[in-house]
Chain A
Amino acid sequence: MSEPRMRTRDFSLFYGEFRALNRVSIDIPENRITAIIGPSGCGKSTFLRSLNRMNELIPGVRTEGSVMLDGEDIFRKNVVELRKKIGMVFQRPNPFPKSIFENVAYGPRIHGVRDRTRLAAIVESSLKASALWDEVRDDLGRSGLALSGGQQQRLCIARALAVEPEVILMDEPASALDPVATLKIEELMEQLKRDYTIVIVTHNMQQAARVSDFTAFMLTDEARAGNLVEFGPTREIFTTPVDRRTEDYISGRFG
């Protein structure tokens, strides 16, 4: 395998005095889907949000260790540039109260694209890449909020793709969707990984097993800090996990 696209080393995160993540070291391979699983409160979303510095918006947050993107320390980068390279899709679809076109064109505009033809081309290719184009091409002026939940989520993915990121972070991207819309998102992820590196946080272990190439299992320790228990190829995690705690969790023997 080539060099990992992202790499964390002994990464810890504190909310004030409380250690929420404890020395997490993980390599996120390029053009692969990496799933992060674990029970509620294990720090998986905190970890995901650390990868594009979303946690910095929370007062009192402090970090230790390193997070690298293509071998460069993300904390030394311009945060706007960083988030252009590392896009994010959230649990609840959150389109802007604007037209479908404007939702997708928003990012490129912020990054200085003014030309209408160029914007139209970006909107079309992004909507195609997010498998929404055929459903909305005839009415791009319609409000993004008028779409179904599954369509809204694909619109948000198109919005993330429009700025040509390298990495896409997905925080429970299908948990608010019905099974059919969920399947569409999963199929879309499979296509997207040809061009992007994807990291997904999911509560749904079967989803992690279905879509991901690599799986990281996180768990809190006695001090309630999130730890990485096991990381490896998804196939191995779900057939022959090394750590007893991983086996218990994925077999549903927790609580």
Chain B
Amino acid sequence: MPRESYESDMQVVREELQVLAGMAADAVENSVRILRDRRMEEGEALIEADLLVNGKCHAIEEMCLNLVATQQPVAGDLRFLFSAMQIAMQLERIADYGKGIARINAGMPPGPHVKPLLDIPRMSGVAVSMLRDAIAAFLNQDAEAAERIPARDVELDLLYSQIYRVLLTHVMQDPRRIDDALKLTFVAHNLERVGDRVVNICERVIYYLTGEVVDF
């Protein structure tokens, strides 16, 4: 088998990216969970976990750069490494949105929300499942799967406008809850952005696998 160490280094990049994707998905899922259940005590740990995400992202970038510098990758290998770096960056940003949600939770006084959160956890569920599927498409080298995912972003957009409408109604009924409502709108906005990042990941997966630059 030719170029064994090269191949195994590329495999490490693949595996580390999978780990980073898991961390990013956890960051979003957990922050929405503590927000929903108002578990104030877990927030700090979630915010700190973001440092690990950043470290992992930089480690992946460094591995990719080293391979570019020392192995002269071309064609599919080059597209893989370039995409891996871009995907790592997107994952790091997704985790940041999670951290942002944890921060918002920490900034809200303890106690129940204006209304029980249903659509926000729903958004989180959609965004995270899109993320997991996008990473699976990357790992399985399945360009067709990556092409199908961006359509699901519409669902996030719809949920976002629905949340916005509902919160607006609450604010009109009881202006004292304006702070909570605004913060929950930020949360929904963050989740909507997660979907956009996943779409970027899908574009990179397709570029890696086909060489085609697509824009969803």
> Which A residues lie at the B interface, using CB under 8 A?
205-206, 209, 238-241, 246-247, 250-255
Contact = CB atoms under 8 A, between A and B. Distances in A.
B211 A239 contact: yes
Contacts of A251: 3, 73-77
Interface of B: 2-3, 6, 72-79, 211
A255 B3 CA distance: 10
A206 B2 CA distance: 18
Nearest to B207: A240
17 contacts: A205-B72, A205-B74, A206-B72, A209-B74, A238-B78, A239-B74, A239-B75, A239-B78, A239-B211, A240-B75, A240-B79, A241-B75, A251-B74, A251-B75, A251-B76, A252-B2, A254-B2
A95 B78 CA distance: 41
A250 B2 CA distance: 13
Nearest to A244: B76
Contact of A250 (B3, B6, B74, B79): B74
A240 to B, nearest CB: 3
A209 B76 CA distance: 15
- Most chain A CB within 10 A, of B74, B77, B79, is at B74
Contacts of B3: 251-253
A209 B73 CA distance: 12
A246 B75 CA distance: 9
A246 B74 CA distance: 11
Contacts of B75: 238-241, 246-247, 250-251
A209 B75 CA distance: 11
Contacts of A246: 75
B2 A255 contact: yes
A168 B3 CA distance: 35
Contacts of A247: 75-76
Nearest to A209: B74
Given A205-B72, A251-B77, 7 more contacts: A209-B74, A239-B75, A239-B78, A246-B75, A251-B73, A251-B75, A255-B2
Contacts of B78: 238-239
Closest 3 CB pairs of A and B: A240-B211, A238-B74, A247-B75
A143 B89 CA distance: 59
Given A252-B3, A254-B2, A255-B2, A239 B79 contact: yes
Contacts of B72: 205-206
A2 to B, nearest CB: 28
Nearest to A251: B77
A96 B59 CA distance: 56
A252 B2 CA distance: 8
A141 to B, nearest CB: 44
Contacts of A250: 74-75
Contacts of B74: 205, 209, 238-239, 250-251
B15 to A, nearest CB: 20
Contacts of B2: 252-255
